[in-house]
Structure 1
Amino acid sequence: MGEFWPVRDVLAHLAGSWRVARTVRDLASGDEGRFEGTTVFRPLDDEDGLLHLESGTFTWQGVARRAERTLRFLPGGSPGTADVRFADGRFFHDLDLASGRYVADHPCAADLYRGEFTVRDADHWRTVWRVGGPAKDLLLTTDYVRE
Structure 2
Amino acid sequence: MAAELWPVSDVLAFLAGSWRVERTVRDLAADVTGTFSGTTDFTAEGDGLRHFESGMFEWRGVVRPAERTLRYVPGEERGTAVVCFADGRFFHGLDLRAGRYVADHPCSADLYRGEFTVYGVDAWRAVWRVKGPAKDLLLVTEYRRAEDGGGPRG
- Using structure 2 for the length normalisation, give the TM-score: 0.92
- Considering only aligned residues, what root-mean-square deviation do their CA atoms show, in Å? 0.7
Q: Distance in 1 between matches of 2:20 and 2:97?
A: 23
Q: Distance in 1 between matches of 2:14 and 2:106?
A: 27
> Runs of 4 or more off by more than 3 Å in structure 1?
none
Does residue 21 of structure 2 align to residue 7 of structure 1? no
Residues 87-117 of structure 1: CA deviation (Å, up to 9, x unaligned)? 0000000000000000000000010000000
Give 1:119's aligned residue.
Answer: 118
Gapped runs of 5+ residues in structure 1?
Answer: none
Aligned residue runs from structure 1 range 98-113, under 5 A: 98-113=97-112
Deviation at 1:119, TM superposition (A): 0.2
Deviation at 1:3, TM superposition (A): 1.9
Deviation at 1:135, TM superposition (A): 1.3
Residues 51-71 of structure 1: CA deviation (Å, up to 9, x unaligned)? 000000000000001000000
Q: Aligned pairs, how many?
A: 144
Aligned residue runs from structure 1 range 1-147, under 5 A: 3-44=4-45, 47-147=46-146
Q: Distance in 2 between matches of 1:84 and 1:135?
A: 24
Deviation at 1:29, TM superposition (A): 1.3
- Equivalent AA in structure 2 for residue 26 of structure 1: D
Identity over aligned pairs, percent: 69
- Using structure 1 for the length normalisation, give the TM-score: 0.97
